[in-house]
């Protein structure tokens, strides 16, 4: 996987946030670095420093008002209400990043 500074910086921040958790694996997918927690994909650091978050579809609309955006797999291919993308500007501080990571860790989408 090619080096993307924004993605790599975000991945490092995610590693630090999840360091306490005993079951975390990293996997290259979605063009980024995905973090599997307890065997489930929770979040992924995107190449532009954005965060892909697995969400409970029942809370999808509320998460859009919290700064999340609909996630797409390529141009024009929505991933559905089980996923949101959080722009880099929303997660500049660790408190905001940790909140979104918790959303991803605790969701059980479809």
- Read off the pLDDT of residues 57-73 as tens digits, 9 standing for 90 and up: 999 999 999 999 999 98
* CATH match for 5-106 among 3.90.1150.30, 3.30.2350.10, 3.40.1190.20, 3.40.630.30: 3.90.1150.30
DSSP for residue 87: -
Tokens of 50: 């954005």
28-32, 39-43, 98-102: the lowest-pLDDT one = 28-32
Instruction: Name the nearest CA neighbour of 12 among 45, 37, 36.
Output: 45
- Range list of H helices, 1-110: 5-18, 60-65, 94-106
Which sign, positive or negative, has the C-alpha torsion 81, 110, 49, 77?
negative
Across 97-107, average pLDDT: 96
Q: How confident is the model at residue 83 (pLDDT cuts 50, 70, 90)?
A: very high
Q: How confident is the model at residue 2 (pLDDT cuts 50, 70, 90)?
A: low
């Amino acid at each position: 996987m090619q080096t993307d500074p924004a993605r790599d910086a975000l991945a490092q921040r995610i590693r630090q946030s999840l360091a306490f958790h005993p079951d975390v694996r990293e996997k290259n997918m979605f063009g980024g670095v995905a973090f599997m927690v307890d065997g489930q994909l929770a979040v992924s650091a995107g190449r532009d420093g954005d965060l892909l978050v697995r969400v409970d579809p029942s809370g999808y609309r509320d998460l859009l008002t919290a700064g999340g955006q609909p996630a797409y797999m390529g141009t024009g291919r929505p991933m559905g209400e089980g996923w949101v993308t959080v722009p880099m500007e929303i997660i500049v501080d660790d408190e905001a990043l940790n909140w979104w990571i918790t959303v991803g860790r605790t969701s059980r989408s479809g």
